[in-house]
A and B are shown apart, each in its own frame.
Chain A
């Protein structure tokens, strides 16, 4: 089921060490090719980091592809403080954490109803969620915008007094949209789970909630971990929804706020690079720590449990 992808490699490299002298030339060519590709794939990021460490005057004079004369973290400080990035990171968390938790919870329950309780029309529900996730978000943009401007919220929920320009609206659209993908993945995953434990629980008279929360969900931990990682990255990376559904700059999540940095300092690409690196950093760190889950999350959907 995919986690294999990450697991196999180290063993191979360990075994390969002993028969290294006998590596055929074709293998060498393969390594040269793959190293070149890897470098090419990493280059844009590395160059962005490099540029962000150098003052604009220097890169403007000598170009980005030149030896450094002066390196500093000044742009990071500037990008972080002047755009109020701490606040934007907080906004991202305010949006992404509840959205991911709600999405996973709802998706698991829907998948549970489809695969375990086998409710009537389960397959139709599955199609409804999965196909909904495939629709282009731009088709929904206008009606969602118009709807949210008309839904009133009390002041303690949103100072805009409507769903528009509030965290609630952005969370709601993320949950509605992302549940589709998660239902699809969780349904495939739950289909492959053993039934015996739950059947025994049913014999003992366990309620649907108990069957779900205490018996099925704990078995889904690998899938939930994978989806949580992936969904967090996706919602973190979202650019469109916050841009369309929010008007106050100080409520923007960090990815959309990056656009402001560009507006304020149109010329200074080095500052923009520092901002981009700062915004990319959490997902890159997450990727290195949780790579297995990332890959599992993507491939769970593709390889049918």
Chain B
């Protein structure tokens, strides 16, 4: 280290100077001697470094994530088609969305179905795997790797693989079920709009369970073993110990898993888009948005209204999440 070389002349670091150390308590800032440990005297160069290296990512996120999200909200009240000028039309887009756009209801239903399936089937399955693998058994590592492997695959690849597995005439699933060949009635897993959403859900759940398993394995390792012992001494059964003691203690992990489940369900896009572009029974909110925007119709205002509905659902979850985080930060 070359301590002196990096030190610029301390111009503005006087006791009353605008010290950029936020976390210092107010009275500490007034009386620099008392709160000395907290006070960092920042040189001009330090401020420049912070300004640029904090400013850049902040700017990038504010412009590309937050401003664009707000822009979507704004556009949803216009009839913009991407070329001409945008005209404010109030809530007409929303009116049409709810009354005169059949795919919307289907898409909402599919997204909710997705959420329900992940939350009620895939997530508990992941938890079950984690609990089983957390006991010290042989081959645990092999089992973990096998179950976790789908998580590293892209959802698009999973979509393509699904087509192979569930193809009507020569797919593996139909062959195993014995419905192919003469006289059989092969199920059209991908082509039948009443069935294909379930196929996609199974494949999405296949991946999600591995994800959840990894998170819960880490969570279970973090549970203090003396808690379990205490519960056992008090005469609790294994089941009671898990549901009354272990599971509640894993609250931070439960929150993360909950957030991930919701987010995955709302973001779902790749699998269905890879399979058939999100049509014919595989409509999702995300697909409707992309269709209205980069599709031939180019109804940007209308597509944005769908985006806002998706946003509102997510924001509800995000706020709930941030509140919990905030409470933890305070305590």
Contact = CB atoms under 8 A, between A and B. Distances in A.
Interface of A: 2, 4-6, 8-10, 12-13, 16-17, 27, 30-31, 33-35, 37-39, 41-42, 44-45, 47-48, 51, 59-60, 62-66, 106-107, 109-110, 113, 117-123, 125, 127-132, 134-147, 172-173, 175-177, 179-180, 201-202, 204-210, 214, 233, 236-240, 243-244, 255-256, 258-259, 262, 269, 272-273, 275-276, 279-280, 283-284, 286-288, 291, 294-295, 298-299, 301-304
B246 to A, nearest CB: 15
**B contacts with A: majority SS:** helix
Contact of B145 (A110, A120, A291): A291
Contact of A131 (B63, B219, B322): B322
Nearest to A27: B137
Interface stretch (B98-106, B116-124, B228-236, B302-310): B302-310
A259 B65 CA distance: 26
Given A136-B310, A142-B293, 5 more contacts: A117-B20, A120-B21, A208-B50, A259-B274, A302-B252
A142 B75 contact: yes
Contacts of A256: 156
A69 B172 CA distance: 17
A120 B47 CA distance: 13
Contact of A118 (B23, B60, B222, B285): B23
12 contacts: A4-B218, A33-B132, A34-B129, A38-B147, A51-B164, A117-B50, A134-B263, A134-B318, A207-B46, A255-B156, A258-B157, A272-B160
Contact of B6 (A12, A121, A205): A205
B259 interface: yes
Contacts of B270: 239-240
A51 B60 CA distance: 44
Nearest to B263: A134
Contacts of A288: 145
Contacts of A295: 148, 214, 218
B249 interface: no
A164 to B, nearest CB: 11
Nearest to B269: A240
A305 to B, nearest CB: 11
Contacts of A208: 42, 46, 49-50
B56 interface: yes
B6 A138 contact: no
Contacts of A135: 65, 69, 311, 314, 318
Q: How many B residues touch the partner, as a band?
A: 35 or more
B314 A237 contact: no
A128 B322 CA distance: 10
A259 B57 CA distance: 32
B140 interface: yes
Interface string B39-61: 01011011001100110111011
A176 B60 contact: yes
B258 to A, nearest CB: 11
Nearest to A195: B37
Contacts of A48: 161, 164
A137 B7 contact: no
A55 B175 CA distance: 18
B176 interface: yes
B133 A34 contact: yes
B281 interface: no
B149 A45 contact: yes
Interface of B: 1, 3-4, 6-8, 20-24, 38, 40, 42-43, 45-46, 49-50, 53-54, 56-58, 60-69, 71-72, 75, 82, 129, 132-133, 135-150, 152-158, 160-165, 167, 169-172, 174-176, 180, 203, 206, 210-211, 214-215, 217-219, 221-222, 252-253, 256-257, 259, 263, 266-267, 269-270, 273-274, 285-286, 289-290, 293-294, 300, 303-304, 307-308, 310-311, 314, 317-318, 321-322, 325, 329
B161 A110 contact: no
Closest 5 CB pairs of A and B: A120-B22, A237-B154, A118-B23, A9-B141, A299-B218
A173 B63 CA distance: 10
Given A140-B72, A272-B164, A302-B252, A283 B176 contact: no
Nearest to A42: B146
A262 B276 CA distance: 10
Contact of B139 (A13, A125, A176): A13
Contact of B66 (A47, A60, A128): A128
Contacts of B153: 45, 237, 280, 283-284
A47 B139 contact: no
A132 B171 CA distance: 41
Contact of A144 (B64, B139, B163): B64
Contacts of A209: 6, 45-46, 49
Contact of B307 (A142, A210, A291): A142
Given A177-B64, A280-B157, A41 B146 contact: yes
Chain A CB within 10 A, most for which of B23, B62, B253: B23
A206 B68 contact: no
Contacts of A5: 144, 214, 217-218, 221
B180 to A, nearest CB: 6
Which residue, A2, A180, A259, A299, has most C-beta atoms of chain B within 10 A?
A299
A30 B133 CA distance: 10
